[in-house]
């Protein structure tokens, strides 16, 4: 967690009267945010929001603006709720105070709601704050760490209260213009993450999938998404790894659907809650379909099940921000080796190129996922180092390699504060 500054005051004050106003976030440095986050940690400290039977919460009115609609979503789910105003006397609890007062403050639902909304608002504004110009590298690193700490605190508060967790689900709408002037519209449900269970990260839409969806819609031909069928008339087989909320699969389905034919689109993930949310998102985006255009399946990269429909190769595999553990790149490579269509000889003895795997990675330079993108290049070799001179050898064997890598800058208002851009890898078969 983010370290407390040396000047941190152990006095615990009511959050509604002590947390800095978010509208002035651009004037606040990391040490002041550190004090505020430390105070929240000390107040709640994994304590459930319950009040001892002998104590009663005071009745109060709260009014103070903490959120406005002009702030872009940071890439995390940030509930756009009605502005809550608070007007309250300054309440503080020191180490010498009776513990009853601390229990009252901790269990006060209005204070708790204020903290949750303040943290949500801070995270939504964190992109511009953490990447502000003219700040030193040390300050930038501390700001990125502060943002991650705020996310962890928010997850902890929400996980303590299942009802609050449900209330903080948010519907996100996306519009992606295509090369022919059509706009692909997608609506997704994002849910809060669990601090303890990293496998449920797919409950939210991550910036990598948003950026990749935008590029796909701008140039569908580059990603082989212009026709639902192949040259031989068979349906295109599309697979999304770590589909999460299903953005890439839904975008592909909207690009490929036609009145007479459709591709075979499969969205996969691991966590049961993620799969449930994924299915709901597909129904939301295709409410009038007689049958779902996207098939949802569980796929564990570490111990994959290659029974139907994973028993046939795929022409196109996509994955966005699916590497957030040192082993993931290795597991994913093993899956793609089994699932991606191999090149096949043609009449002129020149093999077809086979399937393609597009992988989008966020470039994170701080936090728990720092440098994770390097694992992709350590697992997949570069095509330039492979035996391309043996392309006409009918006895050749094939290996996966990076055919192309594109560096993308960060989009304003999209993504986490610790993301400094994205790498898009085109991975395919080359001789070995």
Q: What is the tens place of the pLDDT at every residue in 252-309?
A: 999 998 655 567 999 999 989 899 999 999 999 998 877 789 999 999 999 999 999 9
Residues of the chain with pLDDT > 90, as a percent, come to 38
Residues 50, 197: Cα–Cα separation, whole Å:
24
Average pLDDT over residues 333-354: 85
Average pLDDT over residues 71-83: 34
pLDDT score for 109: 75
Residues 174, 193: Cα–Cα separation, whole Å:
21
Asked whether the predicted pLDDT for residue 104 surpasses 60, the reply is yes
pTM summary value: 0.63
Asked whether the predicted pLDDT for residue 219 surpasses 70, the reply is yes
Asked whether the predicted pLDDT for residue 373 surpasses 80, the reply is no
pLDDT tens profile 48-64: 555 455 545 444 443 33
pLDDT tens profile 3-17: 443 333 445 678 887
Radius of gyration of the chain (CA): 25
pLDDT tens profile 360-370: 999 877 666 77
Asked whether the predicted pLDDT for residue 74 surpasses 60, the reply is no
Asked whether the predicted pLDDT for residue 165 surpasses 80, the reply is no
Residues 156, 260: Cα–Cα separation, whole Å:
49
Residues of the chain with pLDDT > 70, as a percent, come to 71
pLDDT tens profile 240-260: 999 999 999 999 999 998 655
Average pLDDT over residues 188-210: 75
pLDDT score for 141: 87
pLDDT score for 343: 93
Contact 268, 243 (CB under 8 A): yes
Helix, strand, coil percent content, the chain, rounded in steps of 5: 35, 20, 45
pLDDT score for 205: 86
pLDDT score for 388: 55
pLDDT score for 71: 34
Mean per-residue pLDDT over the chain, rounded: 79
Residue 221, token pair as written in the block: 């031909």
Under the banding of pLDDT at 50, 70 and 90, the label for residue 432 is confident
Can you spell out the DSSP letters for 47-115?
--S---TT--PPP---------TTSPP-SS----PPP--------EE-TTS-HHHHHHHHH-HHHHHHH
pLDDT score for 400: 96
Asked whether the predicted pLDDT for residue 92 surpasses 50, the reply is no
Print burial letters for 238-248: b (CB count within 10 Å at least 16), e (below 16).
bbbbbbbbbbb
Average pLDDT over residues 318-334: 94
Residue 45, token pair as written in the block: 């400290």
Residue 384, token pair as written in the block: 């330039």
pLDDT score for 298: 95
């Amino acid at each position: 967690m983010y370290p407390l500054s040396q000047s941190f005051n152990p006095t615990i004050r009511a959050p509604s009267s002590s947390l800095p106003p978010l509208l002035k976030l651009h004037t606040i440095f990391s040490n002041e945010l550190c004090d505020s986050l430390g105070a929240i940690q000390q107040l709640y400290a994994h304590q459930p929001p319950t009040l001892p039977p002998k104590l009663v919460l005071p009745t109060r009115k709260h009014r103070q603006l903490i959120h406005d609609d002009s702030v872009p979503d940071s890439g995390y789910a940030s509930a756009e709720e009605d502005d809550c105003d608070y007007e309250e006397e300054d309440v503080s609890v020191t180490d010498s105070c009776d513990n009853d007062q601390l229990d009252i403050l901790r269990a006060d639902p209005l204070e708790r709601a204020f903290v949750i909304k303040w943290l949500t608002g801070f995270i939504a504004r964190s992109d511009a704050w953490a990447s502000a110009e003219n700040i030193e590298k040390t300050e930038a690193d501390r700001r990125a760490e502060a943002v991650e700490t705020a996310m962890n605190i928010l997850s902890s508060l929400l996980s303590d209260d299942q009802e609050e967790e449900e209330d903080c689900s948010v519907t996100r709408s996306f519009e992606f213009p295509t090369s022919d002037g059509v706009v692909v519209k997608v609506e997704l449900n994002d849910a809060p993450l669990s601090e303890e269970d990293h496998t449920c990260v797919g409950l939210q839409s991550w910036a990598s999938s948003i950026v990749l969806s935008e590029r796909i819609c701008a140039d569908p031909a580059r990603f082989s998404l212009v026709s639902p069928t192949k040259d031989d008339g068979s349906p295109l087989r599309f697979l999304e790894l770590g589909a999460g909320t299903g953005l890439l699969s839904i975008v592909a389905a909207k690009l490929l659907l036609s009145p007479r034919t459709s591709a075979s689109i499969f969205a996969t993930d691991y966590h049961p809650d993620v799969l449930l949310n994924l299915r709901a998102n597909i129904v939301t985006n295709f409410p009038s379909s007689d049958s779902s255009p996207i098939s949802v399946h569980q796929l564990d990269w570490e111990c994959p099940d290659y029974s139907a429909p994973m028993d046939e190769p795929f022409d196109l595999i996509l994955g966005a921000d699916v590497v957030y553990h040192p082993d993931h790149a290795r597991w994913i490579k093993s899956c793609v080796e089994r699932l991606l269509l191999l090149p096949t000889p043609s009449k002129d003895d020149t093999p077809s190129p086979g399937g393609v795997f597009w992988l989008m990675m966020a470039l994170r330079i701080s936090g728990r996922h720092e440098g994770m993108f390097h694992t992709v290049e350590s697992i997949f070799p570069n095509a330039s180092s492979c035996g391309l001179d043996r392309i006409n050898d009918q006895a050749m064997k094939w290996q996966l390699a990076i055919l192309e890598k594109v560096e993308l800058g960060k989009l304003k208002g999209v993504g986490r504060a610790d993301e400094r851009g994205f790498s898009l890898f085109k991975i395919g078969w080359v001789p070995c």
